[in-house]
Amino acid sequence: MKNFKRVIIWALLSLSLQAGGLYFLERMYFKHSSDFKVEKVEAKPVEANVTLPNNIEDVKVSYSGRYISYFNNDKLYAINTKNGEENEIIIEDSNEILYADWIENVNRIILVVRDINDRVQLYTYDISSKTEHKIKELGKYSNSMKINGLEVSSKTGVKYIALTWGSSRPTIYRIDINETLTKVSHNIKDLGEIAAFQNKDILICEDESRNSFYSYTNGKSKKLSLNISGKIDVLGTDSNDNIYFGEYEGDKIYRIVYGSLETKEGEWQSLALDESKNKEDIHITGNGEILINDNLKGMVLNKTTGETISYKGKFVSMNDKIIYSNKEGYIYIKNIKDVDNATEV
């Protein structure tokens, strides 16, 4: 009986200590994590209190909309759309920055640089830390050199860059996640566009002289069975390994054709546009949604969902995350999910 009472007393004491400890944690330790108010945040276009200089070129916005890059008098600059801070991007021992583009999902730019020894180098530049990283040397610079395209697959880490020196056959470099450089073997003389898949190490190349497209992977090539006689351009790829093409009528795209590398001739899906568009007015998201800009209405239509996203001013560009526009010199960044007439769930 005494042993039983002793067990009861110790059990009650243990419960008291646990309750006291939880009360202390609730009042003191967890105080800052539990004392908050739930507020509805209305999504609106973000007006950056900055203006861009006149006569700038090659204006590009980062994936999140935080930074905008541009060339001004052959120098590359990046401006923070949140605080207006502008910085020139300077690469050590460089003579000229030939090409610049933002890498998806990160605040980094990939650069093609001509160095002081007239060598062509591939770099990345981190905007936040203002640090450069040299990836690989690509060859000797010449005035006749042309950059056909540069693609980065953020999922696989593989980079592709295509260069042409004069009348020679284009050279396509593949750089893997370990920065090992190899050449892609091909028989294309007049190389047009290139595009990389997001989830697989596959490159799509355009042969302009034959109006054909080829896929390259693991040293093997395959011609896509499109059977389209008119001019077409690559619009993008999605995470389901589909590729999207824009078919032209005159100088504008009137139809979107899409499918996988395994799609047979005559089985490609197509989507006729209500109005012919410039290529810059069409964007394919990673999950395969088709976004169409309407300059006159000041909105972007999601053809997949039927939703619209209005924006202020003049349309500049869009990606999976944002719409970038400007009005009277002011910059506006609109979240792509801030659809018109959205209802609360």
CA-wise closest residue to 204 among 154, 253, 243 = 243
Q: Which phi and psi angles does 158 have, rounded to 5°?
A: -85, 140
Q: In this structure, how many other beta carbons lie within 10 angstroms of the beta carbon of residue 21? A: 11
**Residue 46 pLDDT exceeds 90:** no
**Residue 300 pLDDT exceeds 80:** yes
Give pLDDT, residue 39. 34
Q: Span 61-89, mean pLDDT?
A: 93
pTM for the full predicted model: 0.81
Give pLDDT, residue 48. 59
DSSP state of 185: P
Q: Pairing between strand 145-152 and 203-207?
A: unpaired
**Residue 237 pLDDT exceeds 60:** yes
Digit-coded pLDDT (tens) for 327-339? 887 889 999 999 9
